[in-house]
A and B are shown apart, each in its own frame.
Chain A
């Protein structure tokens, strides 16, 4: 291009192409020097705008899938579209944390209120439906709500950056966009698994403990949480999981509190099995052992489990199955499913090594139990 410009300039009378090219370069350097951030802001705006369009397509698709499920599978008696739109904008106001004493109890109260409201609303939308359909509808609406929130927040910062011409706001958002898109993509992919009730990667804990619960009498010990009593090499096992095959995560914290505080069980160990997010480079389905409460979420259940274990001086052991966020919320991959038998071996070894005959052990399979009964 510069060669062509030079040739064109040579055609002008009284000009020297070398001088003009030098002037061109000086102009180019000056423009780059003074307008570099503006040019980069413009590029960032374009980039974010493209991502924002993808987020909009995703949130619209999730909303449509939720409505289609409520109508076609849930057989909603009336058009649920308007109610779903109201649902998507519903907010949960977290308690004030300037005085942190008793904060977990307050968060628990707010979250429980929200969960109860979601279930009541879905129940009202569907009329008579199986618990599996209601639980799947709850999860689909949660996915649609999350994507709606992600889109709104990204749009807010995009418009704010554009309005104030804030280079740093735009660049930060641009840098975060790949991770945001990746998470949104994972959420949208989860819809396909939820719709047909397929177990998700996060359900590996429930898959493992369901093997111990099979054929045993089950009792409800907390909301959406069941327990069975079984035996392994002279140890009495209290096995917990969320009530499947519904898409529940249950309340393992409340359940353990009930087992230890109310039922008077004195376990020698608590073993928790859960999915764990792998780091880049780690293999899907890898098993890791450790100590501590293996449970994700907002932190309420983890707090309750740690509190009850600390009070009763019961050691907490964790068995984790590594997977990515996408694998955790979409249909269970073969590598994860095949880890179940290995986890059973690890669990048996942990029980044998850490407890003795006659001891009592609490075993909890943590995670979404969609497509996994007991």
Chain B
């Protein structure tokens, strides 16, 4: 009889990124998440127009391309 209890997860490694967006020119910069980051937090200066950026998103994506 096959077991109905699933085995331990073979976890897909998730990499978490912070997206900083410039409200002036709309340029988005993607960098690795740092503890303390949150959505709407002030980010670095925009590399294109030097305006202050804001964190617009924090998300995770799989380290290997999804085959689903």
B61 touches A333 (CB 8 A): yes
A50, A333, A337 — which one has the most chain B CB atoms within 10 A of its CB? Answer: A337
**What is the CA–CA distance of A51 and B57 in the complex, to the nearest angstrom?**
37
| Contact B35–A334 (Cβ < 8 Å) | no
A199 within 8 A of B: yes
Surface stretch bound by B, among A102-110, A171-179, A353-361: A171-179
Tell me whether A177 and B9 are in contact in the complex, defined as CB-CB below 8 angstroms, given that A196-B35, A207-B39, A333-B60 are known contacts: no
B60:A334 contact, CB within 8 angstroms:
yes
Contact with A along B32-68 (1 / 0, CB 8 A): 0101111111000000000000100111110000000
Q: Assess whether A336 is in contact with B8, with CB atoms less than 8 Å apart.
A: no
CB proximity of B10 to chain A, nearest CB, Å: 12
A245-B5 in contact (CB<8A): no
A374: B residues at CB distance < 8 A: 40
A334 to B59, CA, bound (A): 5
Establish whether residues B4 and A175, one from each chain, have CB atoms under 8 Å apart when the complex forms. yes
CB pair B37 A371 closer than 8 Å: yes
Known interface pairs A214-B54, A373-B38; 6 further A-B residue pairs with C-beta atoms within 8 A, sorted by A's residue number: A47-B4, A331-B58, A331-B59, A337-B59, A371-B37, A372-B38
Can you list 26 pairs linking A and B with CB atoms under 8 Å apart? Answer: A47-B4, A47-B5, A50-B3, A54-B5, A174-B4, A177-B4, A182-B6, A185-B9, A197-B37, A197-B38, A198-B16, A198-B33, A199-B38, A207-B57, A214-B40, A214-B54, A244-B38, A244-B40, A245-B41, A331-B16, A331-B58, A332-B60, A334-B59, A337-B19, A373-B40, A374-B40
What is the interface of chain A, defined by CB distance below 8 A to chain B?
40, 43, 47-48, 50-51, 54, 174-175, 177-178, 181-182, 185, 196-199, 207, 210, 214, 244-245, 330-334, 336-338, 340, 371-374
